[in-house]
Chain A
């Protein structure tokens, strides 16, 4: 699977950028070119030079060192949100599929409702209660995507459970556990990975947005969002200085969302042959009839076609999430 991932230019780009991010975060633990917080009043707004690769900011801090130190925050927020989203998603999926009928139906309706709540508003609500912190960013993105994962997984699990190969497996005597481990988990895994990488991309954007609003990382923490917020104050004088943190955030976010696309392309057996762009929707050739609406219709419960559904995944893997615009 890794080889198939790397065979695609987008997958290769994503893996390289994210590996670099993690390596830089590890390096920043032991070394940065200069102290990221040391303000040098004689070096304000220095142009890029061998001493200051990306120049300095209004306080005379070395932007390159600060960016490097900020990678830790970015990795922390992304990974943390991913973990929270996974836990919430798996618990909600379990409740939504293993309990009694009434609980299942109730969970389904609740998920339909919760999925519409924008991430940023959840974050503002939690900030009003607990004050702004990276923890609030992680929890609000994690909760939002946990709900989305459970919402998307519901349709996918129903689809897989009704598919011919599961029916065949059952008929030939495979038990529920066997179906779960041999068929359900491997088939639902790509979808899960896609949502997870989107959750992480959203987390990086949300950190930037909330830090900008003053509710993200504290001022004693080096974060890309904080740097962007600091530089914004001087937009009239040094409009282009924000390029560094802005581009760094955009690069990581793009890598994370491309990783999702690439993982899905590399693992979806329906896509292993042929030009996906030419066939259009990945499921154009083989969408199994979903729940109640007419066959072939994009429906809420069919995450693969995904046009109007709550998961809002376009056939090319774009997912929009309410409030990602943080």
Chain B
């Protein structure tokens, strides 16, 4: 376990390093000068030159990179090129929307995907199983934007149960209102990701249904359901956990589109706006924060999976 942990941690650190280098290097090949973009089209060459020195863009690229990454390690994510506002606090504020949204989406995806996946496997030779499988296949193919629109049309426009769009201006001051404005967005992501989890759960359960130990449990007198629940589901849970790393990455990224659709002030929407403005310093820090989240979640899921799965334990552990 220790050896695995050290190796996996090393991969995480190298991954974060590679991510930061790729993001930084790609943004520095920007066609058109960053200083020129910030200064605008009305500026004189002298003004652009002055701005370039002011922003430190005349220094070697390696120095600029080290300056940025050094700041990030101290918790300073730089300043916006457009508004000159500090990026770190703004991202922190937006994460207060994005992280709860991702969490709620995950719950929705699991609640929808796991029980239905097990059911689809148990009913594999009946119409019910085929119907669930078909619906999951269809839902997994739906573009998130359309899924969100359908949910808005049904729950907000037709039934008036939930708010259509937006998020309370005072944030989480009124938890109830903030929560209810995240329900539809979370259901949107949860439905699409849940369909994928459903299919993984279904195939994992199918494998387990025919496993020797589950058959034996049924043979010594447990009902088929109890045999599955007690002896089959632990290994299904591990399979689901294993794919969760990528699914959570999907949730975070799905938030980019969904935040736009539901006008939620989250990191995804911030990224979309700043990409449009070509606010390079903000974009690089936002992308770093999002990829770091994805990589750290992947790391955590791998470690938990390794710790829980007895089959992966090394001899003598």
Interface residues of A (CB under 8 A from B): 109-110, 112-114, 116-121, 124-130, 201, 205, 208-209, 212-215, 225, 228-229, 231-232, 235-236, 239-240, 242, 245-246, 249-251, 253-254, 257-258, 277-281, 284, 293-294, 297-298, 307-308, 312, 314-316, 318, 320-326
Contacts and interface: CB of A to CB of B under 8 A. Distances in A.
A143 to B, nearest CB: 11
Residue of B124, B143, B280 with highest tally of chain A CB at under 10 A: B143
B145 interface: yes
Contacts of A326: 143-144, 253-254, 257
Contact of B295 (A116, A245, A277, A281): A116
A278 B206 CA distance: 7
B185 interface: no
B149 A232 contact: yes
A116 B203 contact: no
A98 B263 CA distance: 50
Interface string B1-41: 00000000001001100110011001101110000000000
Interface string B211-254: 00000000000000000000000000001001100110111111
Interface in B253-307: 253-254, 256-257, 260-261, 271-272, 274-276, 278, 280, 283, 287, 290-291, 294-295, 298, 302, 305
A117 B253 CA distance: 10
Given A120-B253, A121-B291, A293-B312, A235 B145 contact: no
B311 to A, nearest CB: 6
Contact of B257 (A212, A284, A293, A322): A212
Contacts of B207: 280-281, 284, 315
B27 A128 contact: yes
Given A307-B242, A314-B199, A322 B143 contact: no
Interface string B183-194: 000000100110
Contacts of B137: 254, 257-258
Contacts of B280: 128
A117 B144 contact: no
Contacts of A128: 27, 30, 274-275, 278, 280, 283
B210 interface: yes
B209 interface: yes
A214 B144 CA distance: 15
Given A129-B30, A258-B137, A298-B242, A213 B260 contact: yes
A121 B284 CA distance: 11
A324 B287 contact: no
A130 B302 CA distance: 35
Contact of B290 (A121, A229, A297): A121
B196 A294 contact: no
Given A113-B14, A128-B275, A249-B146, A239 B157 contact: yes
12 contacts: A117-B19, A119-B253, A121-B294, A125-B27, A213-B260, A214-B276, A239-B149, A280-B208, A321-B246, A325-B192, A325-B193, A325-B250
B199 A116 contact: no
B106 to A, nearest CB: 13
Contacts of A109: 11, 14
B312 A297 contact: yes
Residue of A229, A250, A297 with highest tally of chain B CB at under 10 A: A250
Contact of A246 (B149, B243, B247): B149
B203 A281 contact: yes
B29 A236 contact: no
A215 B199 CA distance: 31
Nearest to A278: B210
Contacts of B48: none
Contacts of B157: 235-236, 239
Nearest to B199: A318
A205 B143 contact: yes
B249 A116 contact: yes
A325 B244 CA distance: 15
Given A120-B253, A128-B275, A249-B141, 20 more contacts: A117-B291, A121-B287, A121-B291, A124-B287, A125-B23, A201-B141, A208-B143, A213-B256, A228-B149, A245-B146, A257-B140, A257-B141, A280-B208, A284-B210, A307-B204, A314-B203, A315-B206, A315-B207, A318-B140, A326-B254
B164 interface: yes
A253 B271 CA distance: 27
B253 A118 contact: yes
Nearest to A206: B143
A246 B294 contact: no
A284 B209 CA distance: 12
B143 A250 contact: yes
B247 to A, nearest CB: 6
B260 A212 contact: yes
Contact of A307 (B22, B23, B144, B239): B239
Contacts of A318: 140, 196, 199-200, 203
Contacts of B242: 298, 307-308
B287 A125 contact: yes
Contacts of B254: 325-326
A114 B14 CA distance: 11
Contacts of B209: 280
A236 B164 contact: yes
Nearest to A245: B146
Contacts of A236: 157, 164
Nearest to A127: B275
B152 interface: yes
A323 B249 contact: yes
A284 B298 CA distance: 26
Contact of B124 (A118, A121, A253, A277): A277
Residue of B26, B193, B204, B250 with highest tally of chain A CB at under 10 A: B250
B123 to A, nearest CB: 11
B96 interface: no
Contacts of B145: 208-209, 212, 228-229, 232, 246
